[in-house]
């Protein structure tokens, strides 16, 4: 890696949590890698292990708690005919037909002893033994042996996630194999394979990343360029061979937003450091373009209250700011669960509300001092010119 990129990386908070460096233009010939960039468009970035994970399109594996299954029984010919007819019927009649069609049977564990997230391995082992002892009393292990295999069409596992969210788990093998798997693993954490870390637009699963292995001194080369006018992104491996291509060029913007959120918001940075030090489990990262924070009805964020007090801005002039605050926002949120000695596994959320400085253009004339002070705290990157408007924190109920 070039010295320029290394220095750009290490400047970020002394080598702690970081995401991406500033880019630099390069004239390097990459034709040996089948990379043919339009003249003058090649830029290179250093990205951390975290960014490398977020940008990787390969499958990941995470852990979820298996709590039961959904049993789909073989349908009689009459039932299949009813289902086909219902598809062409008006909604009111369709509901009546479907109501008389047998639905899949859902079998959920009645064991309420969730495996807590603990620091102490001995206490963790103790809870696992308790779960094993209670298994014979569980509704799932009682019901499954009673199922008549020849009447079953499908068996699908049901998992519970942090926050009580449920999801399906595809089971492998025949019906007997599936039932054996369910019997052995109900109320336990099981491996679930996801297609990639990016679950949806702006939403990333973080549990597939090993934060304990994060090394601030390790970096990867990210290349951005135009090829026949089309934007392209790729990551090189340690041998400077293309590791993977990145389908969505928006991801580069996300990395810059995350980088500057960590720099601007000490609370968010501390949350990431807790995960890296093994004191918390990172759950999800979300870049929310549709925040529902209406600042026209709420109190002014701290950054504005401080500026107003410094320049003694009159209350009637302060109201000129409010219309601008609801536009061009983006929220960068982190969900994580701190490890505890007591089994308190509440999920915490930190949101950095970033505000595009373009939304404040009307203040240049009306409130130039306010605009000037706010713009001093703005960062400039390829994602745009943003500043930290607000910080929002919260946690789920225990």
Nearest Cα residue to 236 out of 56, 19, 381, 17: 56
pLDDT tens-digit series, residues 292-307? 778 877 788 999 999 9
pLDDT in the model for residue 239 = 85
pLDDT at 8 over 60: no
Determine contact, residues 196/207, Cβ cutoff 8 Å: no
pLDDT confidence band for 6 (50 / 70 / 90)? very low
Neighbours of 50 (CB within 10 A): 25
pTM of the model as a whole: 0.83
Q: Tell me which of 59 and 122 has the higher pLDDT.
A: 59
pLDDT in the model for residue 232 = 93
Indicate the burial class of 279 (C-beta count within 10 angstroms; 0-12, 13-18, 19 or more).
middle
pLDDT tens-digit series, residues 340-355? 765 567 889 999 999 9
Among 2-16, 18-32, 178-192, where is mean pLDDT lowest?
Answer: 2-16
Average pLDDT of the residues of the chain: 85
pLDDT confidence band for 262 (50 / 70 / 90)? very high
Q: Tell me which of 114 and 59 has the higher pLDDT.
A: 59
3-state secondary structure of 72: strand
- Average of pLDDT values for 279-294? 90
pLDDT in the model for residue 187 = 84
pLDDT tens-digit series, residues 84-137? 666 667 766 666 656 565 678 999 988 755 555 656 677 666 666 666 666 666
Determine contact, residues 82/94, Cβ cutoff 8 Å: no
Q: Tell me which of 32 and 157 has the higher pLDDT.
A: 157
Determine what percent of the chain is predicted with pLDDT higher than 70: 82
pLDDT in the model for residue 217 = 92
pLDDT at 13 over 70: no
């Amino acid at each position: 890696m070039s010295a320029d990129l290394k220095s750009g990386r290490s400047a970020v908070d002394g080598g702690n949590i970081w995401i991406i460096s500033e880019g630099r233009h390069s004239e390097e010939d990459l034709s040996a890698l089948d990379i043919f960039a339009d003249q003058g468009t090649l830029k290179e970035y250093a990205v951390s292990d975290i960014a490398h994970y977020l940008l990787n399109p390969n499958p990941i594996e995470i852990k979820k708690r298996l709590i039961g299954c959904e049993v789909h029984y073989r349908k009689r010919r009459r039932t299949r005919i009813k289902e086909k007819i219902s598809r062409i019927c008006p909604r009111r009649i369709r509901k009546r037909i479907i109501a008389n069609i047998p639905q899949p049977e859902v079998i959920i564990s009645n064991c309420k002893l969730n495996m807590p997230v603990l620091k102490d391995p001995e206490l963790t082992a103790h809870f696992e033994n308790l779960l094993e002892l209670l298994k014979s009393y569980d509704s799932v292990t009682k019901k499954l042996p009673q199922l008549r295999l020849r009447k079953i069409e499908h068996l699908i596992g049901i998992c519970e996630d942090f926050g009580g969210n449920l999801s399906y788990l595809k089971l492998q093998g025949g019906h007997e194999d599936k039932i054996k798997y369910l019997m052995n693993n109900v109320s336990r954490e099981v491996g679930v394979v996801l297609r990639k870390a990016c679950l949806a637009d702006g939403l990333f699963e973080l549990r597939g990343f090993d934060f304990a292995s994060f090394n601030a001194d390790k970096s990867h080369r990210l290349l951005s360029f135009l090829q026949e006018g089309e934007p392209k992104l790729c990551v090189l491996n340690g041998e400077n061979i293309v590791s993977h291509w990145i389908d969505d060029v928006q991801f580069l913007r996300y990395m810059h937003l995350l980088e500057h959120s960590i720099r601007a918001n000490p609370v968010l940075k501390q949350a990431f450091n807790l995960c890296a030090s093994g004191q918390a489990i990172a759950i999800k990262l979300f870049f929310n373009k549709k925040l529902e924070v209406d600042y026209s009805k709420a109190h002014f964020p701290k950054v504005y209250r401080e500026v107003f007090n410094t320049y003694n801005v009159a209350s009637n002039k302060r109201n000129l700011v409010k219309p601008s605050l609801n536009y061009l926002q983006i929220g960068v949120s982190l969900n994580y669960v701190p490890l505890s000695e007591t089994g308190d596994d509440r999920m915490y959320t930190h949101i950095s509300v970033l505000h595009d400085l373009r939304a404040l253009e009307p203040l240049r004339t009306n409130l130039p001092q306010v605009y000037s002070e706010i713009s001093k705290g703005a960062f400039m990157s390829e994602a745009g010119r943003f500043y930290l408007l607000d910080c929002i924190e919260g946690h789920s109920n225990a």
